[in-house]
Structure 1
Amino acid sequence: MSDAAILRSTDGEVGILTVNNPPVNALSAAVRTGLGDGIKAFAGDPAIKAIVVIGGGRTFIAGADIREFGKPPSGTSLHDVIAAMEDCPKPVVAALHGTALGGGLETAFGAHYRIAVPQARVGLPEVHLGLLPGAGGTQRLPRLAGAEFALEAMVSGRHIPAKEALSRNIVDKVADGDLLAAAVAYARELVAQGAPLRRIRDLPVKLGSPTAIEDFAKSIARKARGFKAPWNIIKTVQAAVDLPFDEGMKRERELFAELLTSSESAAQRHYFFAEREAAKVLDVPADTPQREIKAGGIIGCGTMGGGIAMNFANAGIPVTVLETSQEALDRGMKVIRTNYENTAKRGGLTADQVEQRMALIKPTLSYDDLKDADVIIEAVFETMEVKEGVFTKLDAIAKPGAILATNTSGLDVNQIANYTKRPSDVIGMHFFSPANVMKLLENVRGKATSKDVIATVMSLSKKIGKIPTLVGVCEGFVGNRMLRQRGVQSAYMLEEGALPQQVDKVIFDFGFPMGPFQMSDLAGNDVGWRIRQGKKEKEQRNVRYTGYVADAICELGRFGQKTGAGYYKYNLPDRSPIPDPEVEKLIEETSKKLGITRRAFSDQEILERCLYPMVNEGAKILEEGMAQRALDIDVIWVNGYGWPVYRGGPMWWADNVVGLKAVHDALLKYRDMSGDPFWEPAPLLKKLVQENRKFSSL
Structure 2
Amino acid sequence: MTKAGNDPVSVSIENGVGLIGLDNPPVNALGAALRKGLSDAVAALNNDPAVRVIAVYGTGRCLSAGADIREFGKPPQEPRLSDVLDQIEASAKPVIAVVHGTTLGGGLELALACHARIGLPGAQLGLPEVTLGILPGAGGTQRLPRLIGLQEAVDIISSGCRVGTDEAAALGILDGTDTRSPREAALAAATGVARGGMPTRRTGQIVARIDPELIRQAIEKLQRKRPALAAPIKAVEAIAHAEKPIAEGLKAERALFLELMDSPDRQGLIHAFDAERVARHFPETSATPRPVGQVGVIGGGTMGSGIATALLQAGIPVILVETAAERAEAARAAVAGNLDNAVRRGKVSATARDAQLAMLTVTADLEGLADVDMVIEAVYEDMAVKTGIFGRLDQICKPGAVLGTNTSYLDVNAIAAATSRPQDVIGLHFFSPAHVMRLLEVVVADKTAPEVVATALALAGRMKKVAVRSGVCDGFIGNRILAHYRKAADYMLLDGASFQQIDRALEDFGFAMGPFAVGDLAGLDIGWATRKRKAATRPAKERYVAVADRICERGWFGRKTGRGYYLYGDDKTREPNPEVAAMIEAERADKGITPRAFSDDEIVSRYMTAMISEAARVVKEGIALRPIDVDAVFLFGYGFPRHLGGPLNYADRIGAAALIERIETYAAEDAYYWQVPALLRELAHSGRSFADLNKE
TM-score calculated relative to the size of structure 1: 0.92
Letter in 1 for 2:44: A
Measured in 2, the distance between the counterparts of 1:471 and 1:83 equals: 48
- Answer whether contact 2:542 2:672 (CA < 8 A) is retained: no
Number of the residue aligned with 2:208: 205
Match of 2:540 in 1: 542
**SS of match in other structure, 1:421:** coil
Describe the superposition over 1:207-263 as per-residue Cα deviations: whole angstroms up to 9, x where unpaired: 8x99765676687777764333223333333433x5443333233223322322211
Tell me whether 1:621 sits opposite 2:618 in the alignment: yes
2:172 maps to amino acid:
N
Q: How does 1:344-493 map to 2 (within 5 A)?
A: 344-493=343-492
CA distance in 1 between counterparts of 2:163 and 2:572 reads 35
Moved more, 425-434 or 64-73: 64-73
Give 2:247's aligned residue: 246
2-structure distance, mates of 1:508, 1:595: 30
**1:229 is the counterpart of 2:231:** yes
Matched with 1:273 is: 274
- Distance apart, 1:56 and its partner CA: 4.1
Preserved contact between residue 9 and residue 37 of structure 2 (Cα < 8 Å): yes
Equivalent residue number for residue 667 of structure 1: 663
2:682 match: 687
Cα separation, partners in 2 of 1:342 and 1:108, compared to 1, 3 Å: closer
CA distances 1:627-660 after superposition (whole Å, capped 9, x unpaired): 11111111110111110111100011101x2122
> How far 1:665 sits from its partner (Å)?
1.7
Question: SS of the residue aligned with 2:474?
Answer: coil
Match of 1:19 among 14, 22, 36: 22
- Does residue 138 in structure 1 map to residue 136 in structure 2? no
Q: Secondary structure at the match of 1:543?
A: coil
Distance 2:272 2:340 in 1: 33
**Contact persistence 1:479–1:636 (CA under 8 A):** yes
Provide the rounded CA distance (Å) in 2 between the counterparts of 1:102 and 1:436: 28
Q: Distance in 1 between matches of 2:57 and 2:539?
A: 71
C-alpha distance in 1 between matches for 2:99 and 2:530:
57
Cα deviation for residue 383 of structure 1 reads 0.5
**Residues in 2 aligned to 1:217 and 1:342: alpha-carbon distance in whole angstroms:** 33
Per-residue CA deviation, residues 336-388 of structure 1 (Å, 9 max, x unaligned), is 22232233334333333332222111110111211111111001111000001
**Equivalent position SS for 1:536:** helix
Asked if 1 retains the 8 angstrom alpha-carbon contact of 2:309 and 2:338, the reply is no
State how far apart, in whole Å, the 2-side matches of 1:534 and 1:621 are: 22
Name which of structure 1's ranges 190-199 and 269-278 shifts more when overlaid on structure 2: 190-199
CA contact (8 A) 2:58 2:182 kept: no
- d(CA) in 2 for partners of 1:160, 1:32: 25
Q: C-alpha displacement at 1:545, in angstroms?
A: 3.6
Amino acid in the other structure paired with 1:271? A
For the 8 Å contact 2:226–2:508, the answer to whether it is kept is no
Task: Tell me the SS of whatever aligns to 2:447.
Answer: coil
* CA deviation profile, 1:8-36 (whole Å, cap 9, x unmatched): 44335333333343333222223223322
Q: By how many angstroms is 1:571 displaced?
A: 5.7
Verify the 8 A CA contact 2:279 2:629 in the aligned structure 1.
yes
Instruction: Go from structure 1 to structure 2 and tell me whether the alpha carbon gap of 1:340 and 1:70 turns closer, same or farther (over 3 Å shift).
Output: closer
Q: Which amino acid aligns with 1:44?
A: N
SS state at 1:674 partner: coil
Equivalent residues of 1:664, 1:685 under 8 A apart:
yes
Aligned pair in 2 of structure 1 residues 277, 534: CA closer, same or farther (>3 Å)?
closer
Please say if residues 224 and 230 of structure 1, whose CA atoms lie closer than 8 Å, have aligned partners that are also in contact. Answer: no
Cα 1:564–1:119, aligned 2, differ >3 Å: closer, same or farther? closer
Q: 1:52 to 1:647 in 2, by over 3 A?
A: same
8 Å CA contact 1:615, 1:654 repeated in 2: yes
Deviates most, 55-64 or 421-430: 55-64
The Cα offsets for residues 373-415 of structure 1, whole Å up to 9 and x where unpaired, read as 1111001111000001110111111111111100000100011
- Between the aligned partners of 1:578 and 1:200, the Cα distance in structure 2 is 51
Q: Secondary structure at the match of 2:195?
A: helix
- 2:46: which partner in 1? 43
Structure 1 residue 325: Cα displacement: 1.1
> Aligned-pair distance for 1:475?
0.5
Q: Counterpart of 1:10?
A: 13
| Structure 2 residue aligned with 1:99 | 102
Instruction: Return the alpha-carbon distance in structure 2 between the equivalents of residues 219 and 338 of structure 1.
Output: 34
1:53 is matched with: 56
Cα distance between partner residues in 2 of 1:323 and 1:555: 28
In structure 2, C-alpha distance between the alignment counterparts of 1:530 and 1:72, rounded to whole Å: 53
> What is the identity, as a one-letter code, of the residue corresponding to 1:106?
E
Q: Counterpart in 2 of 1:284?
A: 284
The one of 110, 114, 118 aligned to 2:117: 114
Contact 2:558 2:565 in 1 (8 A): yes
Instruction: Report SS of the residue matched to 2:118.
Output: strand
| Structure-2 separation of matches of 1:525 and 1:178 | 54
1:40–1:576 distance in 2 versus 1, CA, 3 Å: same
Query: Which shifted more, 360-369 or 156-165?
Result: 156-165
For structure 1, the residue ranges without an aligned partner over 5 or more in a row are none
- The residue type paired with residue 616 of structure 1 is S
2:641 corresponds to 1:644:
yes
1:77 deviates by 2.0
CA change 1:226–1:414 in 2 (3 A) is: farther
Letter in 1 for 2:230: K
Q: Distance in 1 between matches of 2:524 and 2:122?
A: 49
Question: Which residue in the other structure is 1:175 paired with?
Answer: 178
SS in structure 1 of the partner of residue 501 of structure 2: helix
Structure 2 counterpart of 1:226, one-letter code: A
- Code of the aligned partner of 2:102: T
Q: 2: distance between equivalents of 1:485 and 1:305?
A: 27
Tell me if structure 1 keeps the 8 A contact 2:127–2:136: yes
Amino acid at match of 1:674: E
Hey, what's the Cα distance between the residues in 1 that align with 2:574 and 2:87? 57
Distance of 1:625 and 1:236 partners within structure 2? 46
Measure the CA separation in 1 of the matches of 2:568 and 2:179.
56
CA contact 2:16–2:53 (8 Å) conserved in 1: yes
Larger mean CA deviation between 99-108 and 558-567 belongs to: 558-567
1:226–1:646 contact (8 Å) kept in structure 2? no
Residues of 1 paired with 2:157 and 2:178: CA distance?
26
Tell me, yes or no, if structure 1 residue 696 matches structure 2 residue 691.
Answer: yes
CA offset at residue 529 of structure 1? 3.3
Partner of 2:131: 128
Aligned length: 690
2:395 alignment partner, SS class: helix
1:340–1:216: structure 2 CA closer, same or farther, 3 Å change rule? Answer: farther
Distance 2:127 2:391 in 1: 52
State the alpha-carbon separation in 1 of the partners of residues 198 and 379 from structure 2: 66
Structure 1 pair 420/222, CA: closer, same or farther in 2 (3 Å)?
farther
| Amino acid corresponding to residue 373 of structure 1 in structure 2 | V
**Structure-1 separation of matches of 2:155 and 2:145:** 11
Q: Equivalent residue for 1:256? A: 257
Give the match's secondary structure for 1:679: coil
Pair 1:609–1:210, CA change in 2 (3 A): closer
Corresponding residue of 1:296: 295
Post-superposition offset of 1:84: 1.3
Helix, strand or coil for the counterpart of 2:468? strand
Gaps of 5+ in 2: none
Q: Is 2:322 the counterpart of 1:327?
A: no
